[in-house]
Amino acid sequence: MSLRENATVDNFSEFFRRHETRLRQSLTPSLGIELAREAAAEAMAYGWENWSRVSQMENPIGYLYKVGKGKGRRMRVRRGTPLMSVPDTRIPDVEPALPEALNRLSERQRTVVVLVHCYQWTYSEVAETLALTRSTVQTHVERAMSSLRRDLGGTA
Amino acid sequence: MTSLEQQMVTYGEILEEEQGNLLLDEITSPRGDIIELGKYRRSRPKWLGFALGAALVVVLVGLIPFFTSQDQPPVATAPVPSTTPEPAPTNPVTTDPAPPTTEPAPTSNIAQIAESVTWTSHPGSAPLADRVLLTPTGLAAIHTEDFQAPLVYMTSNGLDWSVVAIPAPARVLTEFSHDLEIDPTPVGIWLTGPEGGLWFTDLESWASGEPSWEETASDADLIELKGPAPFGSRWAPGISGKARIGNTSLLAVEWELVIDYAAILDVPAGYTDIHHDDLDSCFSSGATGQLSVRARDSSGEDVCLTRVTMVNEAGGVIVLDESGGQVLIVENAVAEFDYGSGGPHISPASGMLDLYSSTGGQLKTVPSVDDSRIGCSHGLDQSVDAVVYSIDCQNPTSNRALSTGDGTTWEAVPFEADKAALGDRHPLGFFWKSTWPWGPPDDIGGPSTILVSPDDETWTDLNVSHALVFEMSAGLVITFIGDDGLADEIGIYDGVALTTVDVVWPIDEWPGFLGAIGDDLILIDGGGIWVGETFSG
């Protein structure tokens, strides 16, 4: 392997290390955990195959998020419920109706609110990955939380 | 029970535990594993499996005449994507029987759906084209590579083509292939010349074999040519993409649009106009609708918002004013609104104005928003995002492309299957077709969501993206499109269920041009044409 090829691999490796989890988590609210993992892998593979171009992009992770989302949706022909139910052992800690309430949100709201409140992303991180403005993220979060509280009634 | 926020943190931990961080483990493995990321790719091995299986079956089929009759001409080998780079076969070709469908059989119409798509090749019979459109009388293939000598071909059966006269050296102006491929009532074709000038013809005129061209000066004139559009549908200045004239019979659910207008700097005291790209109106039937305009500064904080002016779809002006929390309908919109007992709500103190029905009242109409005027007495000295929402509406009375602040273009493309053919089942839906400026450059576009309803009440998201949709006798035929071309299956939605049928496409590389005439798929590529039979009945 040449020095240039080594540098390319190192460069992509660093990108992969830094962003794979973020990419996978960002896809989870819309695709579910299994498809999100596959879609993230597909997107990362696409990124690697096109690394010379992707690496020059202003927002490569945002780009790969779009790629992963498209690939994931293609994998999933029929609708499932993206977010898994709460395991019985965790029900004391989490309202069982929460996943279904999340699934009833619009995809955009679900994605944003899961990233912010479940995965503890900052608004800025969400904005960068989803290519939204920070204020839009904030608005989505507020509306999603409002919907969740209304949906869950007095249980949350 | 703990707070909702804490529950969500815990739920996030559950998700991560379930995920198992398998890929994260791979990150820490030696570099070679990263290079071999392709090993995670499930679809390609699966696809190759189908392709190799198809090739094997075809070879076996090809051997049958050898053993049965030496006088029979050999059957050509079916092309298999990527594995057989040969061009189109020269004889009618039948692809292999596909593996069983992956979806359970719907309760009706399944008998009409073939187990696999059968392709018949007609090499050399199709013109070169860089655009293929469905018209009321067949397909139009348009070749515009040479600006001075574009050619338009028409066919009514997919096989015999004739040249259509066009008015002047021109090229096709509009992007409307997706619309026309799925829309049973295409509008027309637009041409523009090198020196300007615009020609329009109603595609319906092609039913007589010749288009009727009319020269027009502007996009607006095109609409005038078609007559008044329902509910004020009109050409919006500055939009990206092209609009369709509205169709009032089509439904949509969960219509949500966020438009960010960033970097409106140094707004002086008083008001400033925000020019939307024309937000469609939509009608709500029992659903909750909401429209809000919110002004925020660059840090995301609300800013003073004392007045919003919206232009409704009928041209009336609606003014929301903080004084007294009143909605002042200046003109021409009174009859359209019924907010029930819950709204409207105006909360200027929070910088947010909402029109919504919070207690069960029906918000019949969310006004279209052409321009919003925002401002406050002391001016806005920071950048502002104005976020416009319209949520949970139904019945978009028109659709047109909308450009959001990040450059993404959204277009609602409705489709409606043949009611007569399907009886009570009424596949009807719409999808958002989105394009974004920094998406995969080889992405050929398509819908991001397909919602269908058998009864106009219950909606299902088919969750397919990037697809072309054709109306056929047994329902909607959906061809899935991936980043690298057509997927190895098509979906058929008959109003009851989505059935997938595997397909081996007769070309190796995309793009080709795919249309439909009747129940046949028409694939055109490099001057060759293939007719694909999707239904056996």
pLDDT tens-digit profile of B81-98?
A: 232 233 333 333 333 333
Which of the four pLDDT bands, split at 50, 70 and 90, describes residue A98? very high
User: Is pLDDT above 60 for A91?
Assistant: yes
CB B445 within 8 A of CB B435: yes
Closest chain B C-alpha to A25 CA, distance in angstroms: 9
Element at A130 (helix H, strand E):
helix A123-130
| pLDDT value for B291 | 40
Per CB-CB distance under 8 Å, the chain B contacts of A120 are 9, 12
Of B285, B300, B211, which is closest to residue B249 (Cα–Cα)?
B285
Whether chain B has a CB inside 8 Å of the CB on A20: the answer is yes
Amino acid B8: pLDDT: 92
Give me the mean pLDDT over the A129-147 stretch. Answer: 77
Q: What is the pLDDT of residues A4-22, one digit of tens each?
A: 566 667 788 888 888 988 9
Q: Beta B385-391 vs B290-296: how paired, if at all?
A: antiparallel
Q: Beta strand B460-461 with B365-366: parallel, antiparallel or unpaired?
A: unpaired
Q: Which of A113, A136, A155 sits opposite B258 (nearest CB)?
A: A136
pLDDT for position B162: 78
pLDDT of residue B107: 38
Q: Give the whole-number percent of chain B exceeding pLDDT 70.
A: 12
pTM of the entire predicted model: 0.35
pLDDT over 70 for what percent of chain A? 81
Cα of A131 to nearest chain B Cα, Å? 7
Calculate the CA dihedral of residues B59, B64, B69, B73 and round it to 10 degrees: -40
Q: What is the pLDDT of residues B400-422, one digit of tens each?
A: 333 333 333 444 444 443 333 33
pLDDT in tens, B331-348: 322 222 333 333 333 333
pLDDT of residue B495: 61
pLDDT, tens digit, for every residue of B444-502?
Answer: 333 444 555 554 445 555 555 556 666 666 666 777 655 455 667 777 776 666 777 77
Q: Picking from A21-30, B150-159, B323-332, B423-432, which range would have the lowest pLDDT averaged per residue?
A: B323-332
For the cut 60, the answer to whether the pLDDT of residue A39 exceeds it is yes
Nearest Cα residue in chain A from B256: A106
- AA identity, residue B171: R
Q: Is A18 on the interface with B (CB under 8 A)?
A: no
d(CA B488, CA B262): 42
Range with top average pLDDT, A31-45, B246-260, B362-376:
A31-45
User: pLDDT category, B18, cuts 50, 70, 90?
Assistant: confident
Is residue B161 classed as helix, strand or coil in its secondary structure? strand
- Which of the given ranges, A139-148, B322-331, B385-394, B508-517, has the highest pLDDT on average? A139-148
pLDDT at B75: 29
Q: Give pLDDT, residue B468.
A: 66
Choosing among A66, A67, A118, which should be mutated to test the B contact, i.e. which has the most B CBs within 10 A? A118
For residue B131, the model assigns a pLDDT of 61
pLDDT of residue B509: 60
Q: What span, in angstroms and rounded, lies between the C-alpha atoms of B258 and B255?
A: 10
pLDDT tens-digit map of B170-188 = 444 333 322 222 233 344 5
Is B207 an 8 Å CB contact of chain A? no
Q: Which residues of B267-299 are buried (b: 16+ CB within 10 A; e: fewer)?
A: beeebbebebbbbbbbbbeebbbbbbbbbbbbe
Residue B142 has pLDDT above 50, yes or no: yes
pLDDT for the residue A128? 82
| pLDDT score, position B481 | 59
Asked if A43 contacts A64 with a C-beta cutoff of 8 angstroms, the reply is yes
> How does the average pLDDT of chain B come out, rounded?
46
Chain B residues whose CB is inside 8 A of the A106 CB are 254, 256, 391
Residue among B153, B364, B381, B376 nearest B267 (CA)? B381
- Structural contact between residues B529 and B126, judged by C-beta atoms closer than 8 angstroms: yes
Find out whether B252 and B360 touch, Cβ atoms under 8 Å: no
pLDDT digits (tens, 9 = 90+) for B426-450: 333 444 444 333 332 223 333 444 5
